[in-house]
Structure 1
Amino acid sequence: MAPTVSDASAKNSTTSSRTGYGQLLRTPGAWTFLLPGFAARQPFAMLTISIVLLVQHTTGSYGAAGAAAAATGVSMALFAPYSGRLADRYGQRAVLLPGVLVHTVSGLTLTSLALAHAPLWALFVAAVPTGASVPQIGPMVRSRWGVALKDSPLMSTAAAFESVTDELTFVLGPLLATALCTAVTPAAGLVTEASLTLVGGLLFAAQKGTQPPVAAAGHARVERGSALRIPGVRVLIVAFLGIGSVFGGMQVSLAAFTESIGSPGLNGVLYGVFAAGNMLSGIVCGALAWRVAPQHRLVVGYAALALTASALWTAHSALFLAGLGLLVGMCIAPALITGYTLVEGLVPAGARTEAFTWLTGAVALGQAAAVTVAGQLEDHLWGGAGFLVPMAGTVLALATLVTLRSRLAPRSTARTVARGIGHRAPVTVD
Structure 2
Amino acid sequence: MAARPTVDNPTRAGYGTLLRTPRALTFLVPAFAARLPYAMLSLGIVLLVLDTNGSYGVAGAVAAVSAVAQALVGPQTGRLADRYGQAAVLVPSVVVHALSVGALIALALGHAPVWTLFLAAVPAGASVPQIGAMVRARWVAKLSDRPATLNTAFAFESVTDEFTFVVGPVLATAIATGVTPAAGLIAEAALTVVGGLAFATRRSTAPALKTPEAGTKRASALANPGVRLLVGAFLGVGTVFGAMQVSVTAFAESVGRAGMSGTVYGVFAGGSMLAGVLYGMVAWKHSARQRMLGCYALLVLGCSTLWAMPNLTALAVAGLFCGLAIAPTLITGYTLVETLVADGAKTEAFTWLTGAIGLGLAVGSTAAGQLIDHSGPSAGFVVPMVGAGLGLVALVTLRRLLVAPSTATRTVARSVPLRPQPAGAASHG
Give the TM interval when normalised to the shorter protein: 0.7 to 0.9
Q: For residues 58 and 381 of structure 1, what CA distance do their matches in structure 2 show? A: 31
Q: For residues 139 and 125 of structure 1, what CA distance do their matches in structure 2 show? A: 26
For 1:152, the equivalent position in structure 2 comes to: 146
Letter of the 2:115 counterpart = W
For 2:194, the equivalent position in structure 1 comes to: 199
For 1:190, the equivalent position in structure 2 comes to: 185
Q: For residues 254 and 44 of structure 1, what CA distance do their matches in structure 2 show? A: 22
| Pairs within 5 Å for 1:56-205 | 56=50, 62-115=56-109, 118-153=112-147, 154-181=149-176, 185-205=180-200
CA contact 1:278–1:333 (8 Å) conserved in 2: yes
Letter of the 2:184 counterpart = G
Structure 1 segments of 4+ aligned residues over 6 angstroms from their partners: none
Q: For residues 107 and 184 of structure 1, what CA distance do their matches in structure 2 show? A: 18
Q: 1:56: Cα distance to partner?
A: 4.8
CA contact 1:40–1:196 (8 Å) conserved in 2: yes
| Pairs within 5 Å for 1:29-428 | 29-56=23-50, 62-115=56-109, 118-153=112-147, 154-181=149-176, 185-218=180-213, 224-260=218-254, 264-411=258-405, 415-416=409-410
In the comparison of the two structures, how many residue pairs are matched?
Answer: 406
Cα gap change, 1:203 to 1:413, in 2 (>3 Å): closer
Q: For residues 204 and 185 of structure 2, what CA distance do their matches in structure 1 show? A: 31
Letter of the 1:296 counterpart = Q
Q: 1:378: Cα distance to partner?
A: 4.0
Q: 1:230: Cα distance to partner?
A: 1.0
Letter of the 2:295 counterpart = G
CA contact 1:65–1:375 (8 Å) conserved in 2: no
Q: 1:402: Cα distance to partner?
A: 1.5
CA contact 1:24–1:157 (8 Å) conserved in 2: yes
Q: For residues 48 and 386 of structure 2, what CA distance do their matches in structure 1 show? A: 27
Paired residue secondary structure (1:288): coil
Q: For residues 146 and 415 of structure 1, what CA distance do their matches in structure 2 show? A: 19
Structure 1, 253-262 or 270-279: larger mean CA deviation: 253-262
Which ranges of structure 1 fall in alignment gaps of 5 or more residues? 1-8, 420-430
Q: 1:79: Cα distance to partner?
A: 0.6
Give the superposed CA RMSD: 2.9
For 1:425, the equivalent position in structure 2 comes to: none
Q: For residues 295 and 65 of structure 1, what CA distance do their matches in structure 2 show? A: 40
Q: 1:295: Cα distance to partner?
A: 1.4
Paired residue secondary structure (2:213): helix
Q: 1:93: Cα distance to partner?
A: 0.7
In the TM superposition, what whole-angstrom CA distance separates every residue of 1:149-201 from its partner, at most 9, and x where no partner exists? 34234222222222222222122223333444455554443333222212111
Q: For residues 159 and 219 of structure 1, what CA distance do their matches in structure 2 show? A: 34
CA contact 2:79–2:220 (8 Å) conserved in 1: no
Q: For residues 259 and 111 of structure 1, what CA distance do their matches in structure 2 show? A: 30
Q: For residues 33 and 114 of structure 2, what CA distance do their matches in structure 1 show? A: 30
Cα gap change, 1:379 to 1:121, in 2 (>3 Å): farther
Paired residue secondary structure (1:163): helix
CA contact 1:370–1:389 (8 Å) conserved in 2: yes
Q: For residues 314 and 220 of structure 1, what CA distance do their matches in structure 2 show? A: 59
For 1:4, the equivalent position in structure 2 comes to: none
CA contact 1:61–1:379 (8 Å) conserved in 2: no
Cα gap change, 1:50 to 1:85, in 2 (>3 Å): same
Which ranges of structure 2 fall in alignment gaps of 5 or more residues? 1-6, 414-429
CA contact 2:154–2:334 (8 Å) conserved in 1: yes
Structure 1, 159-168 or 135-144: larger mean CA deviation: 159-168
CA contact 1:306–1:391 (8 Å) conserved in 2: yes
Q: For residues 361 and 116 of structure 1, what CA distance do their matches in structure 2 show? A: 31
- Scaled by the length of structure 1, the TM-score of the pair is 0.85
Cα gap change, 1:120 to 1:324, in 2 (>3 Å): farther
CA contact 1:179–1:268 (8 Å) conserved in 2: no
Q: For residues 175 and 326 of structure 2, what CA distance do their matches in structure 1 show? A: 26
Paired residue secondary structure (2:367): helix
Letter of the 2:79 counterpart = R
Cα gap change, 1:206 to 1:31, in 2 (>3 Å): same
Q: For residues 208 and 78 of structure 2, what CA distance do their matches in structure 1 show? A: 14
Q: For residues 260 and 54 of structure 1, what CA distance do their matches in structure 2 show? A: 26
Q: 1:88: Cα distance to partner?
A: 0.9
Q: 1:251: Cα distance to partner?
A: 2.4
Q: 1:290: Cα distance to partner?
A: 1.4
Structure 1, 344-353 or 61-70: larger mean CA deviation: 61-70
Q: 1:265: Cα distance to partner?
A: 4.5
Q: For residues 185 and 256 of structure 1, what CA distance do their matches in structure 2 show? A: 26
For 1:20, the equivalent position in structure 2 comes to: 14
CA contact 2:40–2:169 (8 Å) conserved in 1: yes
- Scaled by the length of structure 2, the TM-score of the pair is 0.85
Q: For residues 117 and 385 of structure 1, what CA distance do their matches in structure 2 show? A: 36
Q: 1:380: Cα distance to partner?
A: 4.8
Paired residue secondary structure (2:22): coil
